[in-house]
Structure 1
Amino acid sequence: MECKFSANGGQNESGVRIGDQEVPKSDHFRYLGSILQKNGELDGDLNHRIQVGWMKWKSASGVLCDHRMPQKLKGKFNRTTIRPAMLYGTECWVVKHQHVHKMDVAEMRMLRWMCGYTRKDKIRNEDI
């Protein structure tokens, strides 16, 4: 990744070298848990946050999919562990409708699965 702060556009003919090895340029990289992209878009970080939420959900799916567990406890667990994992770092995003929609869709899929419903059951999101 390169920053174009200088007048010549940040072009460095020799590239970045550590010892005798040249470090390749990248269009994105991870910094403090967030994915930074060269073009400034948030799609990479958004997808990463959703994946993190699913990984957290899958690690607790034994409890979340247990029909003997009360729904209220499952909801509290979702609010205290899964949702914060998904929202980590989003406070500095420029909010767009598409970003909010993708996060809502992912969370609703988790909640439906947790309650044992599918979209075929035709239960409204508000009721979930």
Structure 2
Amino acid sequence: MFLIAFALVMDEVTGDIQCDISWCMLFADDVVLVDESKAGVNRKLELWRRTLDLGGQVVAQKDIFRYLGSMLQKDGDIDEDVRHRISAGWLKWRQASGVLCDKRVPQKLKGKFYMTAIRPAMLYGVECWPTKRRHVQKLSVVEMRMLRWFCGHTRRDRVWNEVIRERVGVASIEEKLTQHQLRWFGDVQRRPSEAPVRSGVLKRGDKIKRDRGRPKLTWDESVKRDLKDWDISEEVALDRSAWRLAINVTES
């Protein structure tokens, strides 16, 4: 918690000097400023000095905060984090477009490249997501667009998604997301009850009066829903080798 608060302060006091990587890089307690000239670096330092002179007026309230590559929302939802992961996936796609769009490269090899370099960027941090159906749908739409693109097809060609996946040897991103979450669920449940990671799991109280409307989805409820949808018991989920066979993922 103290590290998050410190990172929030650092993010705020460097707001006037932040640029794209690698012109400005923020670490836990360090800031790296890069410019094309010494005068440019001095100008950024002067802007930072003026911000620090504000004293107690540094920290402002934020509804969205970026921490360790994830987007944290004040309302506890993950919409911004999903959009951020999708943007990260497209960034990796553009960087690798020379390979993925080359017709001389076999489609199976493109699929392996996608699984190694692009999909991990889209699934970073999904282990802790309280995932809703619309979030999975967004990720699935983006993935199929990528797969169709490097196969040379569009939706107008009327090629089934299953055919595209078979050509490139890629399982659905929904299966991989479930695999990530169940693996993390098993890791958490195998830890002793006094472990810090166990205390960080939010659960809904039984005798707490809540506001009107549908309650917020928690990670624990999201995992239980996945276990039910895949017909997997909690005992199987705790056994890593057993649940890998249970969900029958079609790729490594």
- Shorter-chain TM-score tier: 0.7 to 0.9
Q: Distance in 1 between matches of 2:136 and 2:121?
A: 15
1:109 paired residue number: 145
The reply to whether residue 58 of structure 1 matches residue 101 of structure 2 is: no
Unaligned residue ranges in structure 2 (runs of 5+): 1-53, 165-252
Q: Deviations over 1:15-74 (max 9, x none)?
A: xxx625332211101001000000111000000000000000110001100000010110
Q: Which runs of 5+ in 1 are unaligned?
A: 1-17
Q: How does 1:37-116 map to 2 (within 5 A)?
A: 37-116=73-152
Give the SS at the match of 1:45: helix
* Counterpart code for 2:138: K
Q: Which structure carries more helix by proportion?
A: 2
For residues 22 and 32 of structure 1, the distance between their equivalents in structure 2, rounded to whole angstroms, comes to 21
Alignment match, 2:55:
19
Matched with 2:158 is: 122
In proportion to residue count, which structure has more strand?
1
2:61 counterpart SS class: coil
Aligned-pair distance for 1:82?
Answer: 0.5
1:127 match: secondary structure: helix
- Matched residues in 2 for 1:19 and 1:96: separation? 41
TM normalised by structure 1 equals 0.83
- How many positions carry a matched residue from both structures? 112
The higher relative CO (CA closer than 8 Å, separation ≥ 6) is in 1
Bigger Rg, which one: 2
What TM-score do you get using the length of structure 2 for normalisation? 0.43
CA RMSD between the two structures: 1.5
Shift of 1:120: 0.6
Task: State how far apart, in whole Å, the 2-side matches of 1:30 and 1:60 are.
Answer: 26
- Partner SS for 1:126: helix
